[in-house]
Amino acid sequence: MQVYDSSVKQLPIINPLKGVWEKRSLLKLLVARDLTVRYKRSVIGIWWSLLNPLFTTAVMFYVFNTVFKAKLPDGQAFLPYLLSGVLTITLFNQGLTMAADSIASGAGVLTKVYVRPEIFAFSATISSAINFLFGLIPLTVVLLIFGKHPGWKTPLLLVFMLCMLLFSTGLGLMLAIAYVNFDDSRSLINIFLLALQYMTPIFYPISAIGPHTQKVINLNPLTSYVTVFRDVFGDNSHATGTQWIVMISTSIVFFFLGFYVFGRTWPKVVAKL
């Protein structure tokens, strides 16, 4: 028989993680729910969810290839560069905002039933990652058209995806607190995300930018993420060792920070709701 004793000390981070693990069957159901809703029920299913990144890419391709004439270093093709950038930022944005949203909109249940809200964040970032995997299909096609192929580093894609999962889950948890606490935080956060997006080399090569701005762009951890992704899938950029380290360390730091902050703050939020 399960016994709940409130005087048993709860360890930060460890207990929430254990709580998620114990309810992993719920996590599976939540991911299945997200995917069913997204794919099975809509008429053109998977293609519909790919339409957004593909269309974004098409628009940006026209603007930056024809209007601004982006110049990539030799040996790099622009269209796969652009599409991989869009897929990365979609993976990040979608995972992050869906994680925060699912906790905020699930608050009705989460304040009354004992379920670790972190499960909701995980389910959002996991389904975002699965969505991303579907996006690799058109990316592969584009790579092949440009005489490239995913390359031998493809298994390292798992490292990239795991890092992104941890990074966006941790950030999503912190975002969820803001969403629930402040009604107007969404619009502010959207502006911030837009700024972050422009500070990430999605549609421009880093080399096209002045040295001063380059420093700023390199401070953005997403720059490392996107470069690593382009390197391991399609060999269309070169990721430095520093960028690998930035990616891995930010994912771990923000994941644990998110769990810690959320665990500390959530009870206070629940008390007020």
Partner 1 sequence: MSRELIVEGTDIALAYRRTRHRVSSLKQTAIDTINRRMSYENFYALNGVSFEVARGETLSVIGRNGAGKSTLLKVLARVLPPTSGRVIVRGSVAPMIELGAGFNPELTGAENILLYGTLLGRDRKTMQSRIEAIAGWAELTEHLDIPIRAYSSGMVARLAFATATDVTPDLLLIDEVLSVGDEDFQARSKARTAEMMNSGCAVVLVTHDLNTVQSMATRAIYLDHGTMKASGYPQDVIDAYHADLR
Contact 222, 200 (CB under 8 A): yes
Q: Which is nearer to partner 1, 15 or 214 (CB)?
A: 15
Give whichever of 124 and 232 is closer to partner 1, judged by the CB atom: 124
From the CB of 113, what's the least distance to partner 1, in Å? Answer: 6
99, amino acid identity: A
* Residue appearing with tokens 């309810």: 23
> How far from chain centre, in Å, is Cα 157?
14
CB of 154 to partner 1, least distance (A): 34
Q: Which of 130, 151, 114 is nearest to 266 (CA)?
A: 114
In the complex, the residues that contact partner 1 under the rule CB under 8 A are 1-7, 10, 25-26, 29-30, 33, 36-37, 41, 106, 108-115, 178, 181-185, 188, 267-268, 270-272
Nearer to partner 1, 137 or 188 (CB): 188
Report the residue number, 33 or 215, with the smaller CB distance to partner 1: 33
Contact yes or no for 173/99 (Cβ under 8 A): yes
- In the bound complex, what is the minimum distance in angstroms from residue 37's beta carbon to partner 1? 4
Minimum gap (Å) between residue 95 Cβ and partner 1: 19
Supply the minimum distance, in Å, between the C-beta of residue 13 and partner 1.
16
Q: How far apart are CA 146 and CA 236, in angstroms?
A: 11
Concatenating the DSSP letter of every residue in 12-43 gives: TTHHHHHHHHHTHHHHHHHHHHHHIIIIISST
Nearer to partner 1, 6 or 66 (CB): 6
Q: Are 90 and 53 in contact (CB under 8 A)?
A: yes
Minimum CB separation from partner 1 for residue 192, in Å? 12
71 CB-side CA count, 13 A: 3
In terms of C-beta density within 10 A (0-12 exposed, 13-18 middle, 19 or more buried), how is residue 13 classed? middle
Cβ nearer to partner 1, comparing 72 with 270: 270
Nearest in space to 45 (alpha carbons), one of 137, 121, 124? 137
